[in-house]
Amino acid sequence: MTTSALTKVSEQLCFGGKQIRFTHQSAVTNCEMQFSVFLPPQAQTGKVPALYWLSGLTCTDENFSGKAGAQRVAAELGIALIIPDTSPRGDGVPDDPDGAYDFGLGAGFYVNATREPFVKHYQMYDYIVSELPALVEAELPVSAVRAISGHSMGGHGALVIGLRNPERYRSISAFSPIGNPAKSPWGIKAFSGYLGDDQSQWVHYDASVLLAKTEKELPILVDQGLADNFYPQQLRTEALIAAAEQSGAKAQIRLQDGYDHSYYFIASFIEQHLRFHAKYLAN
Amino acid sequence: MTTSALTKVSEQLCFGGKQIRFTHQSAVTNCEMQFSVFLPPQAQTGKVPALYWLSGLTCTDENFSGKAGAQRVAAELGIALIIPDTSPRGDGVPDDPDGAYDFGLGAGFYVNATREPFVKHYQMYDYIVSELPALVEAELPVSAVRAISGHSMGGHGALVIGLRNPERYRSISAFSPIGNPAKSPWGIKAFSGYLGDDQSQWVHYDASVLLAKTEKELPILVDQGLADNFYPQQLRTEALIAAAEQSGAKAQIRLQDGYDHSYYFIASFIEQHLRFHAKYLAN
């Protein structure tokens, strides 16, 4: 892999580190992908561990970069932030037939689609698990010591990807995750569209199902606001809590009074999530 | 003044405080105005001092609210953030005849327009100096102990308003201000359009002119990034530095290597600005 695999779109100094936006041609999603990276000052002198952040419906890599205020603590702790887009994009990439916000562009749900016409491009699970880390670790001063987090649809993605690949991540966290998508309106629409009606295929992408049977002691931190418009119907946090109790997983799931689904909630608690991950990334 | 003067559009919990968006009918700008407020937790038990933040070209009250990461430190210090819009808006409000970004809507330049057709609505100086604080202090748990800051066009506004009204503010700061608008392309366009060609009227809105002759010891902090695309031509920071030297004003004007004109720069240094203001607001 040569350095030409990544095209730098922009680079901006932030808290003494570098906030960079890249594009690259993906062999997995068969289109050009964009992502953002924050490299802390410590990356100037050696490889640093990374937190992968998966964003929610309608987002790109720019929402977390611009709104979460994560760079301050990441710069202090020496953690890179890797912030992918939420779907494949481009003229050849099929969208929701009605242009809805919760399927298609901006709504890849971090699955490998098996249905036409989505199968060609919507391979976000493999992209996040394999292709993007390989690219980042080959091209940037970022080590293979990883944690994963995300918000809403991205919280679902972080939990599913972390739980299915415990050897690849040190810790998992999530804000307002879609915790049991096989039984929520958003998840049912997405899984039907990308995976088809065979619900035996859906369980591989349902955090509550995976958490209920996990045998690994991967540390998990989840924050859910109680003034969130999508709680409980879409997010089904209680299913996630029940699943953690069933398996005895090392999951701390916190209900935060008064907070909503927005980045004001994420900004308020991202420092705690970063310090949580830093404990495991440092070892 | 009754509480019906303010209409609450939204309220979100953030760092234990309240991020609120209001609209109200302005008698000064003759249209409905929108602004945002962050009330720190301390406002639940008493009046708190306030930092007024003036935003730059193309912004609304939402840019600083969502991107600067200021609420964390404001919540710690017990400072309210008052974040007005950058111009009057609405169907009856005239815009730049060519729809340019640097005049008209989103570009009020914090002046009292004297030229038609702008004179009726573009009275942003009086709105910021008088009407908005009176409204905020009557309706919200916010005291008349004030500081003022801003970015770019809003940095110009903060310096001009603070320097012309030293009895109303304890301290002034600015990021990347248009420091000498009477001699910069942005400022010349705006002042010609709002005030006309008589440059003797422009000097009342030029921070370098005002700073060169100030006799008050109002503390001033300015940060300017050296990788800023608009530096030096539009911003003319050197004129501001020369003006401060001429009057011996208590101004700290810092040139920050590598930082650009964006909110990544503001986010990186807003904590220092808030702690700077807090010293003077506390007395």
Does residue A3 have a pLDDT over 60? no
Count interface pairs A-B at CB distance under 8 A. Answer: 63
What mean pLDDT, rounded, does chain A reach? 97
- Quickly state the pLDDT bin for A1 (edges 50, 70, 90): very low
Q: B172, B148 in Cβ contact below 8 A?
A: yes
Nearest to B66 among A225, A260, A263 (CB): A263
How does pLDDT run across B6-61, given as a tens digit for each residue? 999 999 999 999 999 999 999 999 999 999 999 999 999 999 999 999 999 999 99
B88's CB contacts (< 8 A; 6+ apart) are B26, B29, B30, B31, B33, B108, B121, B122, B123, B124
Q: B65, B38 in Cβ contact below 8 A?
A: yes
- Quickly state the pLDDT bin for B1 (edges 50, 70, 90): very low
Picking from A177, A171, A266, the residue whose alpha carbon sits closest to that of residue A222 is: A177
**Nearest chain A Cα to B229, which residue?**
A12
A198's CB contacts (< 8 A; 6+ apart) are none
DSSP structure class, residue B204: G
d(CA B183, CA A179): 57
Cα–Cα separations (whole angstroms), residue B123 to A198, A271, B128, B205, B209: 63, 41, 9, 13, 21
CB contact under 8 A, A268 and B19: no
What percent of chain B shows pLDDT beyond 90? 96
Does residue A217 have a pLDDT over 90? no
Query: Is there a catalytic annotation at residue A10?
Result: no
- Quickly state the pLDDT bin for B94 (edges 50, 70, 90): very high
Domain span at A120: 7-281
Q: B179, B205 in Cβ contact below 8 A?
A: no
d(CA B133, CA B52): 9
Q: Is residue B199 part of a domain?
A: yes
Q: Is residue A67 part of a domain?
A: yes
Q: Is residue A28 part of a domain?
A: yes
Residue with tokens 């709002």: B194
If one counts every other C-beta atom within 10 angstroms of the C-beta of residue A97, the result is 10
Picking from A206, A217, A225, A218, the residue whose alpha carbon sits closest to that of residue A264 is: A225
CB contact under 8 A, B67 and A66: yes
* CATH number of A234's domain: 3.40.50.1820
Chain B nearest CA to A157, separation (Å): 24
Chain A nearest CA to B186, separation (Å): 24
DSSP structure class, residue A253: E
d(CA B15, CA B19): 9
Set of chain A residues whose Cβ sits within 8 Å of the Cβ of B19: 264
Chain A nearest CA to B242, separation (Å): 27
d(CA A38, CA A17): 7
State residue A230's pLDDT score. Answer: 98
Q: What mean pLDDT do residues B190-205 have?
A: 98
State residue B74's pLDDT score. Answer: 98
d(CA A72, CA B67): 13
Nearest to A69 among B16, B69, B225 (CB): B69
- Quickly state the pLDDT bin for A212 (edges 50, 70, 90): very high
Q: What mean pLDDT do residues A125-148 have?
A: 98
State residue B224's pLDDT score. Answer: 98
How does pLDDT run across A44-86, given as a tens digit for each residue? 999 999 999 999 999 999 999 999 999 999 999 999 999 999 9
pTM of the full structure: 0.96
Nearest to B14 among A15, A71, A268 (CB): A268
The number of domains in chain B is 1
State residue B4's pLDDT score. Answer: 64
**Nearest chain A Cα to B259, which residue?**
A13
How does pLDDT run across B146-155, given as a tens digit for each residue? 999 999 999 9
CB contact under 8 A, A72 and B69: yes
Query: Is there a catalytic annotation at residue A197?
Result: no
B71's CB contacts (< 8 A; 6+ apart) are A264, A267, A268, B14, B15, B17, B19, B38, B81
CB contact under 8 A, A14 and B268: yes
3-class secondary structure for A94-109?
Answer: CCCCCCCCCCECCECC
Picking from B161, B155, B157, the residue whose alpha carbon sits closest to that of residue B174 is: B155
- Quickly state the pLDDT bin for A4 (edges 50, 70, 90): low
Interface confidence, given as ipTM, is 0.94
Set of chain A residues whose Cβ sits within 8 Å of the Cβ of B12: 260, 262, 264-265
State residue A150's pLDDT score. Answer: 98
CB contact under 8 A, A13 and B263: no
Q: What mean pLDDT do residues B106-112 have?
A: 98
Q: A231, A176 in Cβ contact below 8 A?
A: yes
Q: What mean pLDDT do residues B137-166 have?
A: 98
Interface of B with A in 140-199 (CB under 8 A): none
Residue A102, token pair as written in the block: 């919760």
What percent of chain A shows pLDDT beyond 70? 99
d(CA A35, CA A131): 12
Q: Is residue A121 part of a domain?
A: yes
Q: Is residue A1 part of a domain?
A: no
Cα–Cα separations (whole angstroms), residue A241 to A229, B61, B134, B194: 19, 38, 49, 60
State residue A160's pLDDT score. Answer: 98
Query: Is there a catalytic annotation at residue A87?
Result: no
- Catalytic position from the list B152, B171, B173, B208: B152
Does residue B83 have a pLDDT over 90? yes
Give the H or E element holding residue A276.
Answer: helix A263-281
- Catalytic position from the list A36, A152, A173, A176: A152
Picking from A220, A225, A222, the residue whose alpha carbon sits closest to that of residue A256 is: A225
Set of chain A residues whose Cβ sits within 8 Å of the Cβ of B258: 13
Q: Is residue A159 part of a domain?
A: yes
- Quickly state the pLDDT bin for B216 (edges 50, 70, 90): confident
Set of chain A residues whose Cβ sits within 8 Å of the Cβ of B16: 268
User: B248-258 in b/e burial notation, b at 16+ Cβ within 10 A?
Assistant: ebebebeebee
Q: Is residue B1 part of a domain?
A: no
Q: Is residue B264 part of a domain?
A: yes
What percent of chain A shows pLDDT beyond 90? 96
